[in-house]
Amino acid sequence: MRLTMALLAGLGCCALGFAVSGAAARRLRALQAGAQAIQAIRLGVCVRGEVLARVLQQGLPSGASPEGRAWADFFVTAGQTLAKEPGADFAKTWAEAWARASGTHLALRALSEEDARLLEPLREGLGRTPRDEQQVLLEGVSEQLQAQYEHLRPKLADTQKIAQTLGMLGGLALFLLLI
């Protein structure tokens, strides 16, 4: 019985290390998918001249990735609210859509507070300024998300190795202590 408990505790530590490793990779994929989603909005609003609520409501090309679907669902939710209530406060709509999408999609929960702060200019200014300012705003946020992705990408392999190694070593140590 004691051996079984020690083994389970050790395996739990190993699993935790692999979960942390997976979260680091999910964060990077979410950043990249966010930058792509914002570029799709820019194309719809600034290049094709469509109405923001319609662009958001139609959905964005999400691809097959869970991260892309998470961003698409977030923006569709915001667009549906804006379409129903044309005078709605976008900051409030943004917050409600973000809470709903991040509650449903693990990919958006993987983003850090620092990542979420990069999105603040959108929450504050999207849909409130002329089209040329919207383009600058959308490009700026997309570039910041992409820059954050590029900054973190080289560190991913090290972060994953450290998390996995610590998980395995912690699991082994706990196993040895408990037997």
CA–CA dist 86, 141 (Å, integer): 24
Number of domain units in the chain = 1
Residues 59, 113, 97, CA angle at the centre, nearest 5°? Answer: 30
Tokens representing 173 are 């140590």
Has residue 107 been placed in a domain? Answer: yes
Has residue 169 been placed in a domain? Answer: no
Tokens representing 54 are 């319609």
Has residue 80 been placed in a domain? Answer: yes
- Given a cut of 80, whether residue 18 has pLDDT beyond it is yes
Has residue 7 been placed in a domain? Answer: no
Q: Between these two residues, 163 and 48, which has the higher pLDDT value? A: 163
Sign, Cα dihedral of 141, 142, 144, 149: positive
Tokens representing 39 are 């570029």
Q: How confident is the model at residue 97 (pLDDT cuts 50, 70, 90)?
A: confident
CA–CA dist 166, 179 (Å, integer): 20
| 108-143 residue pLDDT tens | 888 888 998 898 888 877 777 787 888 899 999 999
Q: Report the chain's terminal Cα–Cα distance, integer Å.
A: 10
Has residue 66 been placed in a domain? Answer: yes
Has residue 138 been placed in a domain? Answer: yes
Has residue 73 been placed in a domain? Answer: yes
Q: Which domain holds residue 71?
A: 32-156
Asked if 111 contacts 31 with a C-beta cutoff of 8 angstroms, the reply is yes
| DSSP assignments along 22-40, one per residue | HHHHHHHHHHHHHHHHHHH
Mean pLDDT value across residues 11-26: 89
pLDDT at 63: 63
Has residue 24 been placed in a domain? Answer: no
